[in-house]
Structure 1
Amino acid sequence: MSRFALHRLIPLLALWLLPTTLLAEDDRLIEAVQGFLYAEAQALGDEIMVEVHPPSARLPACEAPEPFLPRSGETVMGRVSVGVRCGEDGRQVRYLQAEIGVIGAYPVLATDIEAGTTLRAEHLETRNGNLAELPQRAILEADALVGKLATRPLRAGEALQEHQVRERPLVERNQRVTVEARGDAFRVSREGRALEPGAMGDEVRVRFGSRETLTAVVSGDATLSVDF
């Protein structure tokens, strides 16, 4: 090969090798993010599927990638954003988009129910599917549904969402209730009338006589407490 031909070939080889090198670097970055997301989502279901979208812009190589979640405590499911710190000092940060599917079990209604129905275990059955395809606020644990009240009519086969159920009131408006005042060395109870309904842990105003009122915390059926 002549010197002239070699001189022209070297730049062409460089252009050919450059995309290959960058592609390998992208692969390493994506593999690091995939591994991180798989570990984060592993406890959510029986099967995890992770697809990481490559960087949209050609960026410098990410040395020693350290993936992280921009929002602490975020549920790693569906479409998520992942941050990656690059370099030994981690000063370079870039962000990638990923899709995470989680195959697992979730409760659905086994029968139609009317508004105001208290959910029991026999109202529910288990179904398997991609949890990422459920509504954003779907309830994934049957135990979190049993004992709740349906806020609207619901149909069999539905995955239940947070706004479709509420805690069962333990105190009703105008109900006679017992209020316990508790301290380190005493406990005193007094009867009054609830001015509003409340579920476990709710604060409810209670009237004693014609004028005296106080706010107490629902602690049981027709029972509230005040701590001193």
Structure 2
Amino acid sequence: MKQTSIPACCLPRHARPAWRLITSVVALGIGALSPLVQAQQAPAAIEARVQDFLRGQTTGLPGEVSIVVSPFDPNNQLPACAALEPFLPAGTRAWGRISVGVRCDSPVVWTAYLQAQVSVVADYLVAALPLRAGQIVGPADITVRRGDLSTLPDNTLTDPTQASGHHTRFAIAAGSPLRGDMLRIPHAVRQGQNVQVMSAGPGFRVSSEGRAMNSAAPGDSVRVRLSNGQVVTGIAQASGTVEVGF
């Protein structure tokens, strides 16, 4: 029985200890296949499949996305696949320099890996001036730069509304890209504050007044004690009101 070997380029480093097992599985499968099925996997097909997969993974990202897939080994000895299934290894984000897996389940099981570079060029925020800890960020404190977001932290801010009016958690040097974890959203409701509680349901909407039992930023949960002593839980709004649904 003639065995078909899989080139080392097609397996990640952590998978190489299983080399003999994978080779045996492929060899056993090929023995019963026709010469047509034993045809070599076309590099163009696998590269195009990875391109399409990454386009789908990056849909909705801000800015201009460009994808470059490294050429697949033209001398590979993999049997031609009936259905290529790309995937990202666990914990991999779909941008920057990444490794994309391609799995084949028919007619022979094998897995290969290609390298790809995904760039996302967009505007992002940086501190225009040195910012003090606890300072409220205003429009004059931020400026916009354009660059590849794949070289920056995942939570880099891209919209001025994500920073304006927020407090800095610590001092920030001028020119530093602004990240979400650098800022604290101001409380919309503070503990002990009198607030309007808006209750809504099918066909009705009523307003009552109560006292907030905890501080909360917009979108956070807040408990309110009403004038009759009842305690309700709602969502703090940017306006300072609390919405309670039924």
Calculate the TM-score normalised by the size of structure 1.
0.69
> Quick one: structure 1 residues 146 and 181, their matched pair in 2 at CA, closer, same or farther if it must change by over 3 Å?
same
Aligned ranges for residues 180-199 of structure 1 at < 5 Å?
180-199=198-217
Quote how far apart the aligned CAs of 1:171 are.
Answer: 0.4
CA contact (8 A) 1:174 1:193 kept: yes
Name 1:14's counterpart in structure 2.
Answer: none
CA RMSD of aligned residues (A): 3.7
> Quick one: structure 1 residues 216 and 102, their matched pair in 2 at CA, closer, same or farther if it must change by over 3 Å?
closer
CA radius of gyration, larger in: 1
Q: State the AA in 2 paired with 1:146.
A: S
CA contact (8 A) 1:176 1:193 kept: yes
Name 2:68's counterpart in structure 1.
Answer: 50
> Quick one: structure 1 residues 220 and 132, their matched pair in 2 at CA, closer, same or farther if it must change by over 3 Å?
closer
CA contact (8 A) 1:77 1:101 kept: yes
Task: Show structure 1 runs of 5+ residues with no match.
Answer: 1-21
Aligned identity (percent) is: 29
User: What secondary structure does 1:118 align onto?
Assistant: coil
In structure 1, distance between residues paired with 2:150 and 2:87: 18
Name 2:7's counterpart in structure 1.
Answer: none
Q: State the AA in 1 paired with 2:212.
A: A
Structure 1 residue 122 corresponds to structure 2 residue 153: no
CA contact (8 A) 1:138 1:162 kept: yes
Structure 1 residue 216 corresponds to structure 2 residue 234: yes
In structure 1, distance between residues paired with 2:69 and 2:227: 65
> Quick one: structure 1 residues 183 and 102, their matched pair in 2 at CA, closer, same or farther if it must change by over 3 Å?
closer
Aligned ranges for residues 140-159 of structure 1 at < 5 Å?
140-159=158-177
Task: Show structure 2 runs of 5+ residues with no match.
Answer: 1-38
CA contact (8 A) 1:177 1:194 kept: yes
Aligned ranges for residues 160-199 of structure 1 at < 5 Å?
160-199=178-217
Q: Give the alignment partner of residue 50 of structure 2, picking from 33, 41, 46.
A: 33
| Segment of structure 1 superposing worse, 34-43 or 196-205 | 34-43
Calculate the TM-score normalised by the size of structure 2.
0.65
CA contact (8 A) 1:25 1:61 kept: no
| Segment of structure 1 superposing worse, 43-52 or 115-124 | 43-52
| Segment of structure 1 superposing worse, 123-132 or 41-50 | 41-50
How many residue pairs are counted as aligned between the two chains?
205
Q: State the AA in 2 paired with 1:150.
A: T
In structure 2, distance between residues paired with 1:65 and 1:122: 54
In structure 1, distance between residues paired with 2:210 and 2:110: 63
Name 1:107's counterpart in structure 2.
Answer: 125
Aligned ranges for residues 45-124 of structure 1 at < 5 Å?
45-46=63-64, 48=66, 50-52=68-70, 59-63=77-81, 66=84, 68-70=86-88, 75-86=93-104, 92-124=110-142
Q: State the AA in 2 paired with 1:83.
A: G
